[in-house]
Chain A
Amino acid sequence: MNLDEIITSPSPWLKPGGPHSEIVLSTRVRLARNVAGRPFLARMDADQQQEFEALLKEAVTAALDPDATIWFDLESLTEIERQCLLERHLISREHAAAEGPRGVAVSTDQRAAVMTNEEDHLRLQVYAAGLQLDDTWAEADALDDCLESRLTYAFSPTLGYLTACPTNVGTGMRASVMLHLPALALTRQIEKVFNAVARMRLAVRGIYGEGTQAVGDMYQISNQGSLGRSEQDILGTLASVIPQIIEYEEQARRVLVGESPVALDDRLYRSWALLTHARTISSEETLTLLSAVRLGVHLGRINGVDIGAVNELFLLTRRGHIQRIRGAELDESERDRARADYIRNRLDNHG
């Protein structure tokens, strides 16, 4: 399996059918780990990092099933290829943009990835479709055990796993849940959710868009602290909060359908019409329209559209993927045209 096959196969976190998948896209557990007896990245020179990267690559590839893992040396990938891995959430934004020897081991099903020489020596992450906190943690925990059999971690009995940034020390864990909350956004209640969540030591941020603006109504909720609480405790907070948010979103959807069905349908079908007929479309507009269509399909108001295809378009219309699909570097206006063509094609049978 190579990068092309990775980029053309569906991402596990966009597959429909996971628990609560109408609202919860995916669950992710990330663990930050460092190797004992080594400085963190900021204190390594280029030669040291080179040598250390070779050591990490050997340990990571030896710990994982060779038939189910692919290794990518990020320095030897093009910018578009790194962008694609980033859009698939297999590497972080920092890892994509950084310089120097660094890599990532990706499981062929794209559910697990281990980044080397990111901010920490190792960043492990496991994805699952829908809301699956316990299972995702169990898998990350097992992956961590595998790596630990090859590497001695920097660990302190009082502070836990020692990380380059003190915000990650302790469990080194960040558990996050990706949510699609279009009705809460439409009914202007999303702020309430943010405020409630902030009190629980959880953070909310938009998945797409810069800074505070959430494009496409996609939000990620994750734990903020990692020290002083066990993994189960942290997961428990998310497990108690997320179902409430799901309930609020469902309520808001019922209100929309009950109180203003015509205005709702108008919005949904206008979005559908634009997506299936536009000749040039920006990435941001795409996300906004896809969000409405996704809502429409889940509410049963737009029929005959495959939700899997809609979910996939959230990924395949991103900057990196659209260029990869076209097999060429495109400037912004070329991308907007290519994107509109691709969307029409994908939704053609239904339009």
Chain B
Amino acid sequence: MLCQRCKKQQATVHLTEIVNNEKRERHLCEDCAREEGVALKAQINLQEVLSGMLEAHQAAGEEAGLTCPDCGMTYGEFRSQGRLGCPHDYEVFAEPLKEVLKKVHGGTEHLGKMPKRSGSDERAQRELMQMRRNLQDAVQREDYEEAARLRDLIQEKETGG
């Protein structure tokens, strides 16, 4: 929804006013709300902020089609749910996520604590996840032979690695 005042920016401030016993709803962008002296409450629901931003981001149609090869999540699905499917999504959706992260956090690079054990081989971890997903598919199409093979393979990798 566009701001009713400037008709340019997204309306993010929604007011219900009672004037002469008449209820009036107004939808303003933050800038116009500030100019009109509306106190912005600091009670920001991050989830709302995020889904609002994600919506505003809908522009790029091709981004919505980005699909993670590991978990099968598409950027479009993430946008409607607000939750990612697996750690690898951060890489697959890196481009569109960049702006979201900047808005939410201010920064874009991690500056905090690091795990003591440097994360084990990332490729092996991704392989494991793909195998688990294949296992799930095999079970779903009732290919139990393949499922058993994959289960053994996963066990072997997990205990061996």
Residues of A bordering B, CB below 8 Å: 34, 36-43, 45, 47-48, 119, 141, 144-145, 148-149, 152-162, 164-167, 169-171, 173, 191, 194-195, 197-198, 201-206, 211-212, 224-231, 233
Stretch at the interface among B21-29, B58-66, B124-132: B124-132
What's the nearest-Cβ distance from chain B to residue A242, in Å? Answer: 15
Whether A167 touches B104, Cβ cut-off 8 Å, given contacts A42-B85, A197-B42, A203-B42, is: yes
Give the interface centre of B40, B86, B112, B129 by most chain A CB atoms within 10 Å.
B112
B39 at the interface (CB under 8 A from A): yes
Known A155-B115, A225-B105, A227-B101: A170·B71 in contact at CB below 8 Å: no
In the bound complex, do residue A48 and residue B83 qualify as a contact, i.e. CB atoms below 8 Å apart?
no
A226 touches B43 (CB 8 A): no
- Given that A160-B112, A162-B90 are known contacts, is A152 also in contact with B107, CB under 8 Å in the complex? no
CB of A43 within 8 A of CB of B110, answer no
Q: Enumerate chain B interface residues (CB-CB to A < 8 A).
A: 39-44, 46-47, 50, 70-73, 81-87, 90-91, 97, 100-101, 104-117, 119-120, 122, 124-126, 128-129, 132-133, 136, 139
A158/B112 in contact, CB under 8 A: no
The reply to whether A43 and B86 contact each other, CB–CB distance below 8 Å, is yes
Task: Tell me the minimal C-beta distance from A136 to chain B in angstroms.
Answer: 15
Bound form: Cα–Cα A231–B126 in Å: 28
Chain B min CB distance to A314 (Å): 21
Contact B116 A145 (CB under 8 A): yes
Expressed in whole angstroms, the minimum distance between the Cβ of A270 and any Cβ of chain B is 29
Nearest chain B residue, comparing its CB with the CB of A174: B46
Q: Are B90 and A195 in contact (CB under 8 A)?
A: no
CB-based nearest A residue for B157: A37
Q: Are B113 and A141 in contact (CB under 8 A)?
A: yes
| 17 pairs, CB–CB < 8 Å, chain A vs chain B | A37-B125, A39-B71, A40-B85, A42-B84, A119-B83, A153-B119, A154-B87, A156-B90, A166-B84, A166-B97, A191-B39, A204-B42, A212-B41, A212-B43, A227-B110, A229-B105, A231-B113
Contacts A195-B42, A227-B106 known; list 8 others, CB within 8 Å: A39-B129, A40-B87, A148-B116, A153-B115, A166-B50, A171-B113, A194-B42, A227-B104
Q: Quick check: B105 and A226 within 8 Å, CB to CB?
A: yes
Most buried by A among B84, B86, B110, B129: B110
Residue of B nearest to A37 (CB): B125
The list of the 6 closest CB pairs from A to B, nearest first, reads: A228-B107, A160-B110, A37-B125, A225-B105, A198-B42, A154-B87
List residues of chain A with CB within 8 A of the CB of B133: 39
Evaluate contact between B50 and A167: CB separation under 8 angstroms: yes
Q: How far is the CB of B62 from chain A (nearest CB, A)?
A: 20
State the CA gap A165–B129 with chains docked (Å). 19
In the complex the two chains form, what is the Cα distance from A160 to B119 in whole Å? 11
Given A165-B83, A204-B42, decide whether A36 and B125 contact each other with a Cβ distance below 8 A.
yes
State the Cβ distance, B70 to closest chain A Cβ, in Å. Answer: 8
CB-CB under 8 A for A194 and B113, given A40-B83, A45-B136, A225-B104: no
B119 and A152 contact, CB distance less than 8 A: yes
Q: Are A38 and B110 in contact (CB under 8 A)?
A: no
Query: With A and B bound together, what is the CA distance between A61 and B49 in angstroms?
Result: 36
